[in-house]
Amino acid sequence: MTQTKDNTPVSQNPYSDDELIKDFPGFSNQYATVNGVRLHYVEGGSGMPLICLPGWPQTWYSYHPVATQLARLYRVIIVDIRGMGSSEKPASGYDKKTMATDILGLVRHLGLTKVHLMGHDIGGMVAMSFAFNFPEFTEKLLVLDGSHPSEGMLQMPLMPAAGTFTEKMDATMPYAWWMGFNQVKGLPEKLLEGRFQYLLDWLFHYVMIDDRNMTSFERDVYASAYNEADSIRASNAWYQTFTQDIEHAKTYQPLAMPVLGIGSYISYQYMKMGLPYVATDITVIGIPESGHYLFEEKPEQVLDAVFSFLEA
């Protein structure tokens, strides 16, 4: 019988992909080796392919509030990006162009010629990179609280402005200290291995309006996925390549396909200002009643926006 690293049989591990997929009726776990990396993904539904990419610090399971509804109209393919969940965690390749090339490899592996791309957080960065680099494969692009790294990141404050760093993130003066913390190599693994729950609980409270919408089971799923040193090292590498991503962005042409940006109270204004610089056919929708984790806080509003955009 297959066992986890703590010798728990996979069949008895409630956070294994085999157990979690039971929350996704009609979906199945799949694996593919593409662009030199083994990716885990889950697939369900039929119709136009919709590739879904999660963000930090979550996994494919983050789409569970919306996946089955999306699968009523689309062939939904939710991918653990390079370094995430059950996907491989190599030593390199975490710039968003390489990660987008991973997704292109999966698209080709599945025999697809045109797809919708949807990404949240880091997944939104990878989805945008895919659209920039492989527009011929991209029908429509959807990004939620995450867009491609830009030079604006270099202006993020090291210290918070007085009175702005409270228990909830300030939308006008956001202080994302983990952007710097995740740049550090080696130390986060030593501090967080086996203790990732502490970071998760703090982060969810800070960037969600009501973090009760992130259940204790969901928190345990993500803690299980990020507790190991390799998982922390790999996920931090998504951040450590931002300067490389910024250089790549300088060579990209504006996106011509339809683009939907969905922003929380934290990101809406920034997306509204920033997306017109990189795309020509843009719709930006704000969900001010939601924090960063929009699927968990306002799934119905997300679904309404997504369906309206894709069916237009």
Structural domain boundaries in the chain: 10-311
| pLDDT surpassing 90 at residue 125 | yes
Segment 83-109 shows an average pLDDT of: 98
Per the prediction, the chain carries an average pLDDT of 96
| pLDDT surpassing 50 at residue 138 | yes
| 5 vs 258, more confident | 258
Tell me what pLDDT residue 12 has: 82
| pLDDT surpassing 70 at residue 7 | no
Selection from 171, 201, 188, 139 nearest residue 269 by Cα? 171
Selection from 174, 227, 177, 163 nearest residue 197 by Cα? 227
Tell me what pLDDT residue 8 has: 53
Strands ordered across the beta sheet of 49-53: 28-34, 37-44, 75-80, 49-53, 115-120, 138-144, 259-264, 282-287
| Confidence at 137, pLDDT banded by 50, 70, 90 | very high
The structure's pTM equals: 0.95
Tell me what pLDDT residue 229 has: 98
Segment 105-131 shows an average pLDDT of: 98
Question: DSSP labels for 120-163?
Answer: ETHHHHHHHHHHHH-GGGEEEEEEES-----GGGGG--SSPPTT
Selection from 255, 43, 292, 50 nearest residue 133 by Cα? 255
Q: Quick count: other Cβ atoms within 10 Å of Cβ 141?
A: 27
| pLDDT surpassing 60 at residue 35 | yes
Q: Quick one: tokens of 206?
A: 């800070």
Interval 190-237: pLDDT, tens: 999 999 999 999 999 999 999 999 999 999 999 999 999 999 999 999
Segment 146-169 shows an average pLDDT of: 95
| Confidence at 2, pLDDT banded by 50, 70, 90 | very low
Interval 42-53: pLDDT, tens: 999 999 999 999
Query: Could you give the CA distance from residue 307 to residue 118 in angstroms, rounded to a whole number?
Result: 12
| Confidence at 6, pLDDT banded by 50, 70, 90 | low
| pLDDT surpassing 50 at residue 1 | no
Q: Quick count: other Cβ atoms within 10 Å of Cβ 86?
A: 17
Interval 247-296: pLDDT, tens: 999 999 999 999 999 999 999 999 999 999 999 999 999 999 999 999 99
Question: DSSP labels for 36-53?
Answer: TEEEEEEEE--SSEEEEE
> In this prediction, what percent of the chain has a pLDDT beyond 70?
96
- Is the domain spanning 10-311 CATH 3.30.9.10? The answer is no
